[in-house]
Amino acid sequence: MSVAAYRPAGYLAIVAIGIVAPFLFPAYQSQMAELWLFIVFALTWDLVGGQMGYNSFGNVVFLGVGMYACVVAQVGLFYPVSAYNAARGGGATVFTFDMTQYLEGLAIGLPVGALLATLTALALGSIVLGMRGHYFAICTLGLGIAAGEIANGWEWIGAGSGMVPPNAPDAVGDLSRFYYYFALALAVVTFLVLRWLYMTRFGLAINAIRDNEDKAEAMGLKTTQIKVTAWMISAFFLGIAGGLLGNLKRFIDPIDTAFAGPTYGVWMVLMAILGGKGTLWGPVIGAVVFQVLKEASWTYLLGWQRVVLGLVIVVIVVFFPQGIMGFVRERFPDWFGHRVEGGTIAGPARKETLR
């Protein structure tokens, strides 16, 4: 019996656990909602950083753009954005949203965030994806910082004081469970889309770019076009994740929430590497392990949590540079289909004699 036969059942089991989890562990609901978003972070980072080999420290730009665009749309559809932000901290006007306004804002805000993030990837990618290796990594690091500074100084979107997403009407009460399921759905959809993507020729093309970009070009692949497209797909899902995260956190700080390079920006990379770069399941496993570690150290080792995370990074880089999935693949290449077939090299002829 091969692994493939159990696959649909495995997928269903994971989704079922995701659905019942908030009822079983209501105290951990917000951490679990964050986990689903972290899985999206790691998966979308790995698309470009792992599968395509372009280590980006700037993916957080798309998260922030999606977050701001979503919330600005949620507000701007019904009130002037600058007046809304000016009233923060108890002004004369109180801005309320009724149920229809709230849902309408979200229904338009999330796609707007996704679209703007995707367009940002198109614009930035066309410029910086011409760079390779370290140059690309450093350049994207700068992009993340620059984006944070722009948001930090832009009065219309609240500048350094940040922005508060619209409050849900009092009648509906707490919406955190609603956002939990939204995050779960986004993680599942992102996973399935990337799973499909890696089965297409596009998936092979970005792997080829990772392994030898000059060769890929010499074989007729339009590498720049492919790289920008991959970054846009990554940005699309990150943009939606940004909109959800903003509403889940109930407050957007330009540097600590939206364009949070030192936290989300680094964690994306860390989760993907921890789980195994360039594999489908690696980022998912990495995100789970990371979130558990992070929450445990925040709870039990408060004050030392950053030290613990730092140590984890060092241990991973030194002992498991290939990540969890990479480690397993090296030990059991057979499970990943890397084997010699036919009788000429090793083992008895299998496929050849069956045909």
Partner 1 sequence: MTAMLEVKNVSKSFGAVRANESISLEVHEGRIVGLIGPNGSGKTTLFSSIVGAHPVDEGSIRFQGREISRLRVADIARLGLIRTFQQTRIYGGMTCVENMLISASQRGSSLLDLFHIRSAARGRQAEDLLAFVGLHAKRHLRADSLSFGQQKLLEFAMALMNEPKMLMLDEPTAGINPILIDGLIDRLKQANAVFGVTLFVIEHNMRVIMSLAEHIYCLAHGELLAEGPPEEIRNDRRVIDAYLGAH
Which residues lie near partner 1 (CB under 8 A)? Answer: 197, 199-202, 204-205, 207-208, 210-212, 214-223, 225-226, 229, 278, 333, 337-345
Q: How far is the CB of 229 from partner 1 (least distance, A)?
A: 6
Of 134 and 355, the one with the shorter C-beta distance to partner 1 is 355
Of 148 and 283, the one with the shorter C-beta distance to partner 1 is 283
Of 306 and 339, the one with the shorter C-beta distance to partner 1 is 339
Output the CA torsion 63→166→250→43 (10° steps).
-30
Q: How far is the CB of 277 from partner 1 (least distance, A)?
A: 10
Helix, coil or strand: residue 252: strand
Q: How far is the CB of 199 from partner 1 (least distance, A)?
A: 5
Of 201 and 331, the one with the shorter C-beta distance to partner 1 is 201
Rounded (10°) angle between helices 223-249 and 29-49: 170
Containing H/E element for 123?
Answer: helix 99-128
Which of 164, 158, 168 shows the shortest CA–CA distance to 86? Answer: 158
Q: How far is the CB of 128 from partner 1 (least distance, A)?
A: 19
CB of 78 within 8 A of CB of 144? no
Assigned token pair, 11: 């997928």
Helix, coil or strand: residue 346: coil
Q: How far is the CB of 223 from partner 1 (least distance, A)?
A: 7
Q: How far is the CB of 279 from partner 1 (least distance, A)?
A: 11
Q: Which residue has the tokens 């558990």?
A: 292
Q: How far is the CB of 58 from partner 1 (least distance, A)?
A: 23
Of 189 and 311, the one with the shorter C-beta distance to partner 1 is 189
Amino acid at 12: L
CB of 209 within 8 A of CB of 87? no
For 43, 72, 89, 281, the CA distances from 284, given in Å and listed in that order, are 7, 30, 39, 5
Start-to-end Cα distance in the chain: 21
Residue 163 pairs in a beta bridge with: 252
Of 223 and 291, the one with the shorter C-beta distance to partner 1 is 223
Residue 252 pairs in a beta bridge with: 163
252 φ, ψ to 5°? -110, 115
Of 134 and 201, the one with the shorter C-beta distance to partner 1 is 201
Q: How far is the CB of 241 from partner 1 (least distance, A)?
A: 23
Of 243 and 326, the one with the shorter C-beta distance to partner 1 is 326
